[in-house]
Amino acid sequence: MSSPAFTQEPELFRGKLDDFEIRNGNHLVRLARDWREVEAALALRYKIFYEEMQACPTAEMAMRKQDFDRYDEVADHLLVLDEKIGDGPEAVVGTYRLIKRDAVARCGAFYSAAEYDLDILTSIPDEILELGRSCVDFEYRNRRVINLLWQGIAHYCVNYDIRLMFGCASLPGKNKDAHTLPLSYLYHNYLAPARIRPKALPERHVDMNLLPPKEIVEKDAVKMVPPLIKGYLRIGGFVGDGAVIDEQFNTTDVCIVVETKLITSKYARHFERQGFNLRSI
């Protein structure tokens, strides 16, 4: 992947949501508008995933100080910017990578397909959206910024008529025994209905049904569930069948599935109270 691919295809940044912005104080959320802003998101991802969380970069990633793969060229990149810093790449403090079905057609499969059998999801005739590479700069990990990201995702889902979102979310570390309690808790309380339940690939499948329900102390289990996964669960999210060890990122992954009707209706009501039509922002 290289930036010239984007300078030759500026239409990738000319979607119907180009002018979409949501503000809260000096922070705003919108889509990346040029390759420089995408590169700022890649640099933020490197800072968080590789320098802070100790993932294992390739030699080229380490040289460029960016986290990247082939999906970045077809994805939409949702950004949170701090206008006290600026209004361009230098101001990017949070990001989410969004991949729709038409975009992934150019890559052959969704990113999560390397870990999960997604046929049950890709067979859905409506639009689906893969979420990934979520990160926020350490100094900005607060409710305001996280809510802005979710408002941006809700706006995106409404405009593109997204029915279902999915993606891998992580527990830190590769020792599955250390995650016995939270994995069991997720399995017994949030396993997706069969009609939308992706399964870990057989060769990568890590059983999540490790403890019987009677042995799960809920308050202890909840403490061990990372905030991002808790956020998905709060908006009606489920988990797929089986966890997966991600060697590169030093994590234990679960597949999250969210039907969007809850998140879109919640944020639609929020905007309507403020006098906006979410579809026309």
Q: Quick one: which H or E segment has residue 108? A: none
pLDDT, tens digit, 9 for 90 and up, residues 142-174: 988 988 999 999 999 988 999 999 999 999 999
Examine the pLDDT at 217 and tell me if it is beyond 90: yes
Report d(CA 256, CA 140) in Å as an integer. 24
CA-CA-CA-CA torsion for 170, 173, 175, 178, nearest 10 degrees? -80
Helices (H), 126-171: 143-159
Neighbour count for residue 245 (Cβ, 10 Å): 17
Identify the pLDDT of residue 261: 83
Identify the pLDDT of residue 66: 97
DSSP 160-224: TTEEEEEEEEEEESS-GGGGHHHHHHHHHHHBPPGGG--EE-TTT-B----S-GGG--HHHHHHT
**How many angstroms separate the Cα of 198 from the Cα of each of 131, 191, 258, 281?**
15, 10, 12, 34
Q: Positive or negative, the Cα torsion across 39, 135, 169, 101?
A: negative
The total domain count for the chain is 1
Report d(CA 227, CA 210) in Å as an integer. 22
Q: What's the mean pLDDT in 95-119? A: 94
pLDDT, tens digit, 9 for 90 and up, residues 24-61: 999 999 999 999 999 999 999 999 999 999 999 999 99
pLDDT category of residue 270 using cuts at 50, 70 and 90: low
CATH number, domain with residue 230? 3.40.630.30
Range of the domain at 134: 4-280
Identify the pLDDT of residue 18: 55
Identify the pLDDT of residue 194: 98
pLDDT, tens digit, 9 for 90 and up, residues 81-92: 999 998 889 999
pLDDT, tens digit, 9 for 90 and up, residues 218-263: 999 999 999 999 989 988 999 999 999 999 999 999 999 999 987 7
